[in-house]
Amino acid sequence: MNILLLEDDLILSAELCRFLESNSFTCDKIYDGETFLRQIRNNTYELYLLDINVPKINGLDVCQTIRSFDKNTPIIIISAYGDISDKKDAFTRLADDYLVKPFQFEELLLRINSLLRRKSPSDAADQDIIRIDDLIINKTEQKVYRAGNEIALTLKEFQLLVYLAEAQGRTVSKQQITEHVWEHNFNTNTNTVEVYINFLRKKVDKDFKLKLIHTRSGFGYYLSPL
């Protein structure tokens, strides 16, 4: 089980990770909210531990951002703030648990195990999240995010993006796209696919240095950060 920890106290962060690793977890530690959000766009974790008072983006805002595209991964807030208003704020942003510092590591372990037991390992919702670099596609909610910002797509644009993403970097031909996205509802000699690819590029790639949608001349299109 992989856990990602957001904690800017270097000593506490190191001690927590050592404790978790001694209890059969893997633990990556991050010290600021901005780096934390970048980390989860490229990696998969079973649980997040978030301190509130951290640099760049605070833990509550990180929690809210996670919930904008991931409703299921458990989140535990660990904070020195113990007022009921602080706890209310955390649960309003859909945190699963709240532990006030200082706390016993054993209690944290009990809470982690409790949350992980509630989460089904076959949770279909997890399978409906596609992550490619900083692009996140939520198939269940039909929402797309890049660098944490939501991108508005039409239904066909969304279906085309999902088809490219599920190809996992393989090139798909114009014919394959028309079969899967449009179900042969137009002549493959038309430029409909090219038009929609250009629509996607303007929305998904235009404002970013790293381009994800590529053309392989004479063969088709593929979605990849490389």
| 3-state secondary structure (DSSP) of residue 213 | strand
Q: What is the pLDDT of residue 122?
A: 46
How many Å apart are CA 124 and CA 126, to the nearest integer? 5
Please name the amino acid found at residue 47: L
| 3-state secondary structure (DSSP) of residue 150 | strand
| 3-state secondary structure (DSSP) of residue 206 | coil
What lies within 8 Å, CB to CB, of 213 at 6+ separation is 164, 197, 200, 201, 204, 205, 221, 223
CB atoms within 10 A of CB 135: 23
Summarize pLDDT for 130-165 with one digit per residue, the tens. 888 888 999 888 999 988 889 999 999 999 999 999
How many Å apart are CA 152 and CA 142, to the nearest integer? 10
Q: What is the pLDDT of residue 188?
A: 59
Q: What is the pLDDT of residue 124?
A: 46
Which residues of the chain fall below pLDDT 70?
119-127, 184-189, 226
pTM for the predicted model, two decimal places: 0.58
What lies within 8 Å, CB to CB, of 31 at 6+ separation is 6, 7, 8, 10, 13, 54, 55
Nearest residue to 4 via CA among 27, 33, 37, 31: 27
| 3-state secondary structure (DSSP) of residue 49 | strand
List domains and CATH numbers for the chain: 2-119 (3.40.50.2300), 126-223 (1.10.10.10)
Q: What is the pLDDT of residue 189?
A: 65
How many Å apart are CA 140 and CA 127, to the nearest integer? 9
What lies within 8 Å, CB to CB, of 129 at 6+ separation is 69, 70, 136, 137, 138, 139
